[in-house]
Amino acid sequence: MRRAILVVLFVSFPMNAICQEKSPKGFDWKFASLTAGQVAATIWDDDQTQGCLKNVVGCRETDWIYGPRPSPVRMYGTSLALDAAFTGLSWTMRHHGPKFVRRAWEGPILFSTGSHIQAIAESVHSGKLEKVDRQGRVK
């Protein structure tokens, strides 16, 4: 255990010196636009999933985080919390990291956005399922 602590200390001091380089100042349009795209994809994906859960026989959520039939509050709350975590990680990578980490700051946001876009595409592709009304009758 002591060796592990010493290794962490010896590695962290040089990294702290590397991280003292200047970070970008002012409003960052690229960061803001990527975050807005991420939130838009999240809302679109969640809205499409909730519509499917209400209107399609046999529709279920396949992501284990939400469960098979999540409520809108659970789905939006969990999705936006995960997006906030990805955005925070990207911001931290952009402003507080060695040069090679700061160059890859878009990765977490683009991963999240891409996963939502892929889920939207799958929902559109599988949208040929039967629709039902509120009483459970096939339309």
Q: Could you list the residue range(s) of the whole structural domain that residue 85 is in?
A: 28-125
| Predicted TM-score (pTM) of this structure | 0.69
- Block means of pLDDT (10 residues each) for the chain, 139 residues, are 40 45 65 92 90 81 84 92 93 86 89 90 66 56
pLDDT at residue 99, rounded to an integer: 86
- Residue 119 is predicted with a pLDDT of 87
CB 117 within 8 A of CB 37: no
For 63-86, write each residue's pLDDT tens digit: 888 888 889 999 999 999 999 999
The residue with tokens 């209400």 is 54
In this structure, is residue 139 part of a structural domain?
Answer: no
The verdict on residue 7 lying in a domain is no
What are the phi and psi torsion angles at 56 (to 5°)? -120, 130
Residue 94 is predicted with a pLDDT of 87
> What is the number of structural domains in the chain?
1
For the record, the structure tokens of 74 come out as 């659970």
